[in-house]
Amino acid sequence: MGIIEKLSREQSGYLHDFFRNCPAEVIQVMQYVKVSRGQTVLLAGRSCEYVWIVIKGEVSGEDIQMTGNVYSFFEQSGISIIGDYELFAGLSEIQKTVAAGTDCEAFRIPSAVYMKWMEEDKNALFMRAQVLARTLAKEISNERKYLLLNARDRLVLYLTNAYGKWGGNGECIVKKTQAQLAQRIGMNVRTAQRSILRLEQEGFISYRSGAIHISWQQYEMLREYRDAKL
């Protein structure tokens, strides 16, 4: 409870509701853990041992293609519950590798205990089902649209979203390497470099000291372009 109380009002409120009817058995076996940036949380092909409730930091899903390239196909920050999708689907193995994009803090619950809780707690199950349904619907819609976009427009979407997550109204610095950006938009590094250069030439971003800088005015330009064209 002490850890939860230190979170934002929205985050702590959500967790209070989620844990409202949580059985004592879950609390007794649940662990509070810290995960270092870059550390793998879930590994595709491994058995579903734990469900993770990430309360601080950012996690990203990764996919290794046959070409050897690693693509990051989603990023989540704030409250993220990972590792239970496969359990609800009746799968015995993790379907996607998830790693910590930043230093993270999380609660870790053994999968069998978590699923027993879900079976007994209608409130927690309904809250989780809502999130899973919304996420699945959004991913299907975004995937259809995303496949038709070129690298530049994929980068526009990513940067617009990054500024929105940042939540400020000044200059946002995107602390991702060109290789990481290439992974995120599903392109090779050279294509990502060309896209960064083009957006800089068009005035959408500034590129200094190896990082992308986005002012509020540039964010407005990116958002207007996104809403009008994408």
CATH code for the domain of 42 = 2.60.120.10
pLDDT of residue 70: 46
Crossing angle for the helix pair 122-146 and 9-18, to the nearest 10 degrees: 120
The domain that holds 187 is classified in CATH as 1.10.10.10
Same domain, 106 and 183: no
Q: How far apart are CA 35 and CA 100, in angstroms?
A: 7
Q: Are strands 104-110 and 50-56 parallel, antiparallel or unpaired?
A: antiparallel
pLDDT of residue 64: 53
- The model's pTM is 0.66
**Which one, of 130, 138, 29, 28, lies nearest residue 88 by Cα?**
130
**Final residue of a structural domain among 89, 112, 146:** 146
Same domain, 105 and 13: yes
Backbone angles phi, psi at 48, to 5 degrees: -85, 90
Same domain, 84 and 198: no
pLDDT of residue 124: 96
pLDDT tens-digit map of 66-97: 444 544 555 666 789 999 999 999 998 998 89
Same domain, 174 and 222: yes
What secondary structure, in 3-state letters, does the chain show? CHHHHCCCHHHHHHHHHHCCCCCHHHHHHCEEEEECCCCEEECCCCECCEEEEEEECEEEEEEECCCCCEEEEEEEECCEEECCHHHHCCCCECCCEEEECCCEEEEEEEHHHHHHHHHHCHHHHHHHHHHHHHHHHHHHHHHHHHCCCCHHHHHHHHHHHHHHHHCCCCCEEECCCHHHHHHHHCCCHHHHHHHHHHHHHCCCCEEECCEEEECHHHHHHHHHHHHHHC
Cβ-contact 162, 174 below 8 angstroms: yes
Per-residue pLDDT tens listing for the chain (230 residues): 888 888 999 999 999 999 999 999 999 999 999 999 989 999 999 999 999 999 999 898 866 544 445 445 556 667 899 999 999 999 989 988 999 988 999 999 999 999 999 999 999 999 999 999 998 888 787 777 778 889 999 999 999 989 988 878 899 999 889 998 998 888 899 999 999 999 999 999 999 999 999 999 999 999 999 999 88
Same domain, 75 and 133: yes
Same domain, 92 and 119: yes
Same domain, 124 and 206: no
User: What is the count of structural domains for the chain?
Assistant: 2
Q: Which domain covers residue 161, as residue numbers? A: 151-229
Same domain, 173 and 140: no
**Final residue of a structural domain among 146, 168, 195:** 146
pLDDT of residue 138: 80
